[in-house]
Structure 1
Amino acid sequence: MSDTDEGRGGVNRVEAFSDGVIAIIITIMVLEMKAPEEHGLERLWALWPVFTAYVLSYAYVAIYWVNHHRMFAHATRITNDLLWANIALLFTLSLVPFATAYLGEQHFTHDAALVYMCVMMLPSFAYVWLQAVIRRTGRQDEAAQAYHHRTLRKGAVASAIYASGIALTFASPWAGLACAALVAVLWFLPKSPIDALFGE
């Protein structure tokens, strides 16, 4: 397939499709939280691993949605690379509900935490590919370049933290998951310590 010349209309269509897929991913995750049939708050409290996994994954998917939306503001046209990079990102994000359910149902065991951290790592690779395409084919003004420089740096640090989390999972599942939580905190902050390290 060759590149298309759809302009912002095509970009908006890809973004709308992505919004729909991400909304479905979040819906699937919440449907995995089954209400207990037995009476008593202790039965509800027993679901804390499932709920905790859901909260972490919801934050994770929300961060990707926010950054996807901001990044697409710098896209100006549709290319074949952009379409497939975006599809790859959505595919990796579609694995999150499975990893979340597995982590919660297995009560944060070593194997479940390892699977979860590996799944968390995958979208970061796809996102870097997608951003590289948009940086090459999208807006080339100073504001766009500053955005890409800042977020690519933060993304590289986040990937390094995820890789560390995978290694730490072999020692303690909670240590690995703490790395995933740390990445979420870094992206939530308007100005993270990473920016401060570079004097921004």
Structure 2
Amino acid sequence: MNKNRLEAFSDGVIAIIITIMVLELRPPESAAVADLATVFPGWLRYLLSYVYVGIYWINHHALLNKFSRVDGGALWANMHLLFWMSLIPYVTAWAGENPMEPVPVALYGFILLMCSISFMLLSWRLHAAEAVSKQAAGYRNKNRLSIGLYALAILVSLSHPPTGSLIHVLLALIWIYPDRREQAGSFL
């Protein structure tokens, strides 16, 4: 099957995810500058989630750019990724409203972990029929490191949520800065 429908559907879902996230943002209760502090954690969590959704969108495009066709397995692997991404607005709102609470921050990390795993599964599915290049191997190593750090962030969040959140930020920074091997095809 031609990959165009998969890309168009994914782009639409990702656009909706971003829209839902921004609609969850709440303004301060009053116009006083001091009230900004009450909504600031939610805005920071929104910013982090926006960056994550952007990272996935960019890398989804870069990954699919390597292929002209997809099969049914790739379609379901893509749906798996989109399922986990669709939960980002929910955990963004909850962790944004409760930035120092272990369960919301840990659940935020769990959703990011599942997004990472599902993206790796999609990549594996798409590469299954082709020879793996050194570029793809480097990408997989970065993804495996991320999965380990997401799992660590979940555990750390249960006892110290700010440290778990810091790990989430560091992971986003790792993926924003592209590895030289990945610059030709993937921007994760």
| TM superposition score normalised by structure 1 | 0.85
Tell me which moved more, 23-32 or 38-47. 38-47
Shift of 1:46: 1.6
Identity over aligned pairs, percent: 36
Change (3 A) 1:161 1:107: closer
Question: Which residue in the other structure is 2:40 paired with?
Answer: 48
Q: Check the 8 A contact 1:74/1:134 in 2, yes or no.
A: no
Residues in 2 aligned to 1:152 and 1:39: alpha-carbon distance in whole angstroms: 48
Structure 1 segments, 4+ long, off by >4 Å, are: none
Matches within 5 A, 1:66-77: 66-77=58-69
* Bigger radius of gyration: 1
How many aligned positions are there?
Answer: 180
Matches within 5 A, 1:105-124: 105-124=97-116
Q: Check the 8 A contact 2:99/2:161 in 1, yes or no.
A: no
Shift of 1:180: 1.0
Question: Which residue in the other structure is 2:173 paired with?
Answer: 185
Residues in 2 aligned to 1:191 and 1:122: alpha-carbon distance in whole angstroms: 22
Residues in 1 aligned to 2:133 and 2:125: alpha-carbon distance in whole angstroms: 13
Structure 1: state its 5+ residue gaps.
Answer: 1-5, 193-200
Shift of 1:106: 1.8
Selected match of 1:22 from 1, 14, 30: 14
SS in 1 for 2:128: helix
Q: Check the 8 A contact 1:86/1:130 in 2, yes or no.
A: yes
Counterpart residue type for residue 174 of structure 1: P
Selected match of 1:96 from 88, 93, 108: 88
Question: Which residue in the other structure is 1:149 paired with?
Answer: 137
Question: Which residue in the other structure is 2:164 paired with?
Answer: 176
Q: Check the 8 A contact 2:87/2:111 in 1, yes or no.
A: yes
Selected match of 1:62 from 54, 61, 67: 54
Counterpart residue type for residue 158 of structure 2: F
Residues in 2 aligned to 1:120 and 1:45: alpha-carbon distance in whole angstroms: 26
Q: Check the 8 A contact 1:33/1:51 in 2, yes or no.
A: yes
Change (3 A) 1:175 1:107: closer
| TM superposition score normalised by structure 2 | 0.90
Residues in 2 aligned to 1:124 and 1:191: alpha-carbon distance in whole angstroms: 17
